[in-house]
């Protein structure tokens, strides 16, 4: 018997087969869950429909993937249409994964102090407000005991140079998790977040993930980076009934990096390298 037998829900934010959302979705479906998926809308002039095609390719030979629809989280009408489709297909749902974030590349490349006003609004709308908007629209469909999960990062807790405006967005997202956990707790709905270590994804490529992975290998207690599969299993746990007593939490899946107050073992290595020969 699987963790998600008889369970149905939504997976928002798969871009391709390297997405964290896809890692979670694979584990959910392997455990019996039925999933509806969304993709970023394609431009009208994009005859190849690249965004839809990438996600559709992931869903091939996945009998538990029940539908795929476009979603622009900046449009309330898109969110409403998604929930209408969900109600038609599933009736009520038991889980919702929100794995959506975006900031203009030019704003990400600037020092945080130089973030444009329009870029700040865009990043906060897509990366933060979308969780509130989706949760509000999904509220009538959520079964008692349902779970909402979003994806955050350590750059919302501490300053991570290079993460810049997205770090501010993640700090706001973390606060949204806590306030949503309170708002939806009376409905017996839980809201949590996973803070994953750096992984090679489309989003990660814009944040210098290669340098960050080197740093994590050197500093994390486990002396390695985490894998997509590890994050996927943790995400499935938080979406499942096995985590029924957990809400408003941020679960770090980062090989322990977040607990360190110094470079740890790497400091000894650096000291050794600095000694005169």
Mean pLDDT of the chain: 94
Give domain status of residue 72, yes or no: yes
Give domain status of residue 3, yes or no: no
**What is 82-141 written as a DSSP string?**
HHHHHHHHHSSEEEEEE------HHHHHS-GGG--HHHHHHHHIIIIIHHHHHHHHHGGG
Asked whether residue 204 carries a pLDDT value surpassing 60, the answer given is no
Q: Tell me how far CA of residue 18 lies from CA of 27, 28, 202, in angstroms.
A: 14, 16, 8
Give domain status of residue 222, yes or no: yes
Give domain status of residue 1, yes or no: no
* pLDDT for res 226: 97
pTM: 0.94
* pLDDT 10s digits, 34-81: 999 999 999 887 778 899 999 999 999 999 999 999 999 999 999 999
Domain extent for 190: 8-274
Concerning whether 153 is annotated as a catalytic residue, the answer is: yes
Q: Mean per-residue pLDDT for 241-247?
A: 97
* pLDDT 10s digits, 252-271: 999 999 999 999 888 888 77
Q: Token pair 């390695």 is at which residue? A: 224
Give domain status of residue 197, yes or no: yes
Structure-block tokens of residue 20 = 């964290």
* pLDDT 10s digits, 136-175: 999 999 999 999 999 999 999 999 999 999 999 999 999 9
Total domain count, the chain: 1
Higher-confidence residue of 264 and 116: namely 116
Asked whether residue 33 carries a pLDDT value surpassing 90, the answer given is yes
202 pLDDT band (50/70/90 cuts)? low
The CATH number that applies at residue 37 is: 3.40.50.720
Give domain status of residue 75, yes or no: yes
Annotated catalytic residue, options 129, 163, 179, 257: 163
Give domain status of residue 2, yes or no: no
Annotated catalytic residue, options 129, 153, 179, 242: 153
């Amino acid at each position: 018997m699987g963790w998600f037998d008889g369970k149905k829900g939504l997976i928002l934010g798969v871009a391709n087969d390297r997405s964290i959302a896809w890692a979670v979705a694979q584990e959910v479906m392997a455990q019996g869950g039925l999933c509806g998926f969304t993709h970023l809308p394609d431009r009208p002039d994009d005859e190849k429909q690249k965004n839809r095609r990438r996600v559709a390719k992931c869903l091939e030979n996945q009998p538990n993937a029940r539908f795929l629809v476009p979603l622009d989280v900046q449009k309330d009408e898109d969110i409403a249409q998604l929930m209408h489709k969900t109600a038609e297909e599933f009736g009520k749902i038991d889980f919702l994964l929100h794995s959506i974030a975006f900031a203009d590349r030019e704003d990400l490349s600037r020092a945080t102090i130089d973030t444009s006003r329009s870029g700040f609004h865009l990043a906060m709308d897509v990366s933060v407000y979308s969780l509130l908007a989706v949760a509000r629209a999904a509220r009538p469909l959520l079964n008692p005991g349902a779970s909402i999960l979003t994806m955050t990062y350590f750059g919302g807790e501490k300053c991570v140079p290079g993460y810049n405006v997205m770090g501010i967005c993640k700090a706001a997202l973390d606060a949204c998790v806590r306030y949503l956990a309170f708002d939806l707790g009376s409905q017996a709905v839980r809201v949590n977040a996973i803070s994953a270590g750096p992984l090679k994804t489309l989003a990660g490529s814009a944040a210098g993930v290669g340098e960050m992975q080197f740093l994590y290998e050197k500093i994390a207690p486990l002396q390695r980076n985490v894998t997509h599969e590890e994050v996927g299993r943790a995400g499935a746990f938080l979406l499942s009934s096995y985590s029924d007593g957990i809400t408003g939490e941020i679960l770090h899946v980062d090989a322990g990096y977040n607990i360190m107050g110094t470079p740890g073992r790497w400091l000894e290595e650096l000291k050794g390298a600095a000694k005169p020969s």
